[in-house]
Amino acid sequence: MHDFGFVHSITNTAANGAVALTKVWSNMLPFPVVVTCRLNCDAAVAGHAANYASHIISVDDGANTAPVVAATFTTLNTNYAADIDASPTTSSTTNSVIAAGGNLFVEVTQTSSGVALPVRLLKFKFRRK
């Protein structure tokens, strides 16, 4: 099987523009897949120690269990250049597997007053485990 993927766009650009945990993809394949992801911003973002946002990528097993964090992108002391795909700030190879019937989730949290973020893309790539 070849790798495949999709792009999820997030357009809330205001500080405190949190996004609740949202299901963005379900694995309807009869086998588990491994997900990798990259973040791409329309404009540069300067990291900050007190006002920052976190993009949290989570997965579940499709059996009503709580999602587990697979990767996080944060602007906590991390800068993002415009139009450059960035790797996660933290990631877990164990939690990057989406079981058959499992789901992929995206959540954006804001700390303190948050940070205004440009339109950004989360790029997901899947491959058979």
**Contact call for residues 73 and 91 (beta carbons, < 8 A):** no
Share of the chain above pLDDT 70, in %: 91
Distance CA 110, CA 52 (A): 6
Mean pLDDT score across all residues of the chain: 86
CB atoms within 10 A of CB 39: 22
Q: Which of 26-30, 61-65, 104-108, 112-116 has the lowest mean pLDDT?
A: 112-116
Residues 22-32: tens digit of each pLDDT: 999 999 999 99
Q: For the chain, what are the domain ranges? A: 4-128
Question: Is the pTM above the cut of 0.85?
Answer: yes
pLDDT of residue 75: 85
pLDDT of residue 97: 95
Residues 53-100: tens digit of each pLDDT: 888 999 999 998 999 999 999 888 888 899 999 999 999 988 999 999
pLDDT of residue 1: 52
- CATH 2.60.120, applies to 4-128: yes
